Structures are given as C-alpha cells and as structure tokens.
Chain A
Amino acid sequence: MKKFGILGLFCLLSVKFAFCQQDLLSFDEHNKYIFYQVVDMPGLTADSLHERGLHFLKTAYPKTVIKSAEGASVTGGGKFLTYGGVSVMRHEKGEIAYQFNIGLKDQKYRFWLTSFVFTPYQRDRYGNFVPETGVDIPLEEITDKLEKKEAEAYLDEAGAFCKQWGDKLKSYMTRAQEEKKEPAARKVVTDKW
C-alpha cells in the first residue's frame, strides 16, 4: 500500500516537473535568460572534446550556424520551432532563435545558450505557417508582449529545448565518434540444405 502511495507521489512530481521546464533557465549578469552548465569529462583532452563538440553540432543540429570554432571555444546560433495545440491541431506557433557558446578545457567543458528571440508564426494564404515578418521578441520581454499563458508555454519549450540540447551534447562528448557501419545484408543460400 505504501508503495502505491510513493509511486503516486513520484508520478505527480513528474507531472509537475514536465510543466516547469522554464525553471531550467536562469538570468545572467545582463538580465538575459541563460541555460548554463559545466560538465566534468575525466580523461578527455580539450582537443578531443572540441572534435566531439563539432561533431555534435553537425550531426544533432545540422542547421546550426557555427560562427567560430577556433581555440578553446565554439560559438554560433540556431533556432527551434515552438508548438501549440494538441493532437492534430498541434502546429507551429513560432520559432526561437538562440546563441550558444561551448568552452573547452582538458577534462571538462561548459556551455551556455542565451540571446533567445521569439518570432511568432502566422498562417499564410497557402495554408502554411510562416514567420511573421518584423516581429522579434526577446524572451526576456515575452511576458510583456504576449498573454501570460502563451508566454509561459514558450518559456517552458525553451527550457525543454535547452535541456535536450545539453543532454545530447553530453552524450556526444561521452562517446567517441562512432563510424557508421552498414549492417551486413543477410544472405540465404538456397541450393544447399
């Protein structure tokens, strides 16, 4: 009986956690939203972390624009889509552009995502959802520009994206670049049996 109670509590906490992804974002010294992490990578040099970081950007987020990959850091920017609605009514509501910085040292790396800018989407005459020209809202101002519920949904999505981005980066940093091996085709010889 006690087990069920603990399990129920755990599930409730999971639900609460899922709805509060915006709490993953902090403010930096310029009062801008930032997602910041330092990760220890014992036994790995800065060079190998650099190589794995670039591989991560090119593979996991191929549309990322890398501005600089010289020295001990990699910087650039990207964007991701935000969605609204449920089931088949779920569609693009906008996009959030961001800047990233990955700093590299022997046995550790750090990264942060910041300068988030939201651009709402609107449905065009052809039935496609496209960016609304000229409407760029820094995430710090989103609660002033949009209704609270909508703004919080986008902050949640930004938090969730950052966590996903960081988790993926860690998984790429942890494992060496694996060469893609084509699985050997299974052949059956029918004239011998």
Chain B
Amino acid sequence: MKKQFVLFVLAATFFGFAARAQDTIKTTGDAPLVLSGSVDTYWKTDFSGHANIPTSFANENNSVSIGMVDLGLKKSVGNASFVGELSFGPRGQQQSLPNADPGLVTFPGTSETGVGYSSYHIQNLYVSYNLTSKFNLTAGYMSTFIGYEVISPAANFNYSTSYLFTNGPFQNAGLKATYTFSDKVSLMAGIFNDYWNVYQSGGKVNTFGAQLTVTPVKNWTAYLNVATGPESGTEFDLTTNYQITSAFKLGLNAADFTAGEAYSYKGGFSGVALYPQVAVSKVVTLGIRGEYFDTKAGAYVTAGPPPGESVTGITFTANIKAGPLTFIPEIRFDNSSKSDMFVDGSGNYTSGATQFLLAAVYGF
C-alpha cells in the first residue's frame, strides 16, 4: 500500500512538473530541434472514367491513393539555422523530385527490369545565417520563391494544383541574400543552379533570381519575382494575398515564362489564377480557383495544352478542419481552347474534363 502511494506521488509529481514546464513561456534562448510535416491521402474520380487533367499530384483515377509523408526538421542556434525536409510517397518522390524512383522499368536495350533510379527525397535542405537582424544569407536546395502554390498539401488550399504551379519551378538550389528594409519592404537576390528541380547543376550556376516583397497596406502582401538564366529560361511572376476581411481572402498569381535561349526550341507559357476564399464557420472555408493558362507558339512542351493553345480551369474547394486534420472535397472543371487535350469516356478527344476528389491532410 505504501509502495503504491510512493508510486502515485512520484507519478503525480512528474506530471505536475511536466505540465508546469509546458506553461513556461520561452522568450529568449535557442529554439529546440523542431519536427513538423504532413501526411495526405485522396480519392479521385474523373467523370470520363480515366485520368485526364495533367496538373501535378492527385492524378490517380478511382483509387484511394497516397500523397506523401513529409518530415521537416529545423534547428536554430543564435543566428544560424538549418532546415532539412524529406518526403516519402508519390507526391514527394517521382511526382515532384529529381532522380526519383519511377517504379519497375525495363532498362533500355535489354529485357531486364528493375528500379530505375534512386532519390534523396529532399524538399528543402539549406542552412541560413542572419548577418544582422535585417540581412540574411541562405544556401542549399530550397522550395522555389516563385508562384502561389507549393508541393506540401498542408500549405495549399486546393488539393489539385494549377497549371502555373505544375509548369513553374518546384525548387531552386543556390545562394540567396535577403535584406529587410522595413516591415513593408524586403528584397531577395540570389544566384541559382542552371536548372530547376535538380540537386546538382548541369555544370553552371547561372540563373539569377530575385524577389521583391511589399506590404502596401496591412494584410496585403505582394511578391514580385523573377528567375532568369540561359538554361532555366525566364519567368516573371506576381504572387499576392490580401486578407480583405477576417473571413474573406483574395489571392492572385500571374506569370510569364519564356524557354531558355540555350535551346534551339522556343516557346513558353503565361497565365493568371485567382483564389477567392471565404471562411463560413470556424472549421469550414470555401474557395474557388479560377485559372487561365496559355501556351506560346514553339516547340516547348508544357504539362498542359499544346503550343499556341489555352485552358481554363475552375476549381471549387472546401477545407473542413477537425483539429490538425483537414478534409478537402473538390470539384474541378477544365476547358481547353481546342478539342485535343482531354479524352472522353469513349476515347475521343474533347475540350472538357471534370473531376471530383476527396482528400485528407494531417499537418503536425
């Protein structure tokens, strides 16, 4: 009996200290090692009976499919910090990463099969140092500074992605410097590898990138971006978000891309996407993504309509939160300028495609 009391007292004391420790507000000192990330899964059906819309992720038809396990580590000590983010699963491997495992392949010139490639599964891997409170240097492999949408499903409102996202860079490896002039203006400029989305350059570090961040009024932030290089091509991008009321947010992404001059082929794309979102309760937010995407004439091929054509996409999405879990029902209608982009249920070319999906994303 006495022993039980001792154990009880020890346990209660331990939990008491544990609870008190969590109430301590840390105002100074170095942050601990932090692990964060997400897990996502989805089911999609295209009304034609097979996958049609060529944008990134959520592309497996009539299948309860997986996105990825995303694990990010971050540690800061003084002015130095690092982020290492690994992802496992289709969304975080062959659908977004270089050198990824595409599954079983037949090796060229032989009848042998095997795993084609291996991948490091890296989404972010960089180190960062604050030279002053306003001036920061960062080097490594980083999520791109261009565009509205990202790979991580926890950071996107819509689960399917836009044509602008799919055809723009996902990651840039390089060295960048960011100077914060005031709480309303900052400027990033950097030099990046010659190609997007690769861990290693093709032999050159010759893509220039810059981002001007402005906050014209409270709750409105705009990012003016440029990335340009002979191999990577030139993309001008405007990404902006305005929380107009506590319930209503409006986002916009506009971009123009021209293929790199190092290649004989020409072409590119331009487009604009609008993201109005309204919170209708503390757990439900409704939103629309309206996108117009146009490809330039030339031989440059996009994940979208053929050169010289266009596509319009309207996506209705709801985010329903249950603690860290978000359910995302979404219906999407895409229409192309010519009847040669999608295929209907009978196998004939058509100009329209419609899909419904239900996704679940757990963020931690």
Contact = CB atoms under 8 A, between A and B. Distances in A.
Nearest to B76: A128
B25 A127 contact: no
Contacts of B124: 126-127
Nearest to B221: A133
B6 interface: yes
Nearest to A88: B35
Nearest to A137: B246
B9 interface: yes
Given A12-B12, A161-B25, A88 B33 contact: yes
**Helix, strand, loop or mixed for chain B's interface?**
mixed
A14 B18 CA distance: 11
Contacts of B5: 1, 4-5, 8
B108 interface: no
A173 B221 CA distance: 42
A136 B218 CA distance: 11
Contacts of A125: 143-144, 150, 152, 155
Contact of A134 (B2, B27, B219): B219
A156 B32 CA distance: 21
A138 to B, nearest CB: 10
Given A11-B12, A123-B154, A134-B242, A129 B36 contact: yes
Interface in A158-178: 160-161, 164
A51 to B, nearest CB: 22
A123 B126 CA distance: 16
Contacts of B35: 88-89, 91
Given A128-B74, A133-B241, A11 B16 contact: yes
Contacts of A157: 23, 25
A135 interface: yes
Interface in A40-96: 60-61, 80-81, 83, 85-86, 88-91
Contacts of A144: 282
A106 B219 CA distance: 44
Given A4-B2, A122-B155, A164-B25, A90 B32 contact: yes
Interface string B11-52: 011011001101111110000111110000000000000000
A18 interface: yes
A189 B50 CA distance: 86
B16 A14 contact: yes
Interface in A15-34: 15, 18-19, 21
Interface string A108-148: 00000000000000111111110001111100000011110
Given A134-B249, A164-B24, A8 B16 contact: no
Interface in B254-281: none
B252 interface: no
B25 A91 contact: no
A61 to B, nearest CB: 6
B364 interface: yes
A157 B27 CA distance: 13
Interface of A: 1, 4-5, 7-8, 11-12, 14-15, 18-19, 21, 60-61, 80-81, 83, 85-86, 88-91, 122-129, 133-137, 144-147, 149-150, 156-157, 160-161, 164
12 contacts: A1-B2, A11-B12, A15-B12, A18-B22, A19-B19, A83-B22, A91-B35, A122-B155, A126-B83, A133-B221, A134-B219, A160-B23
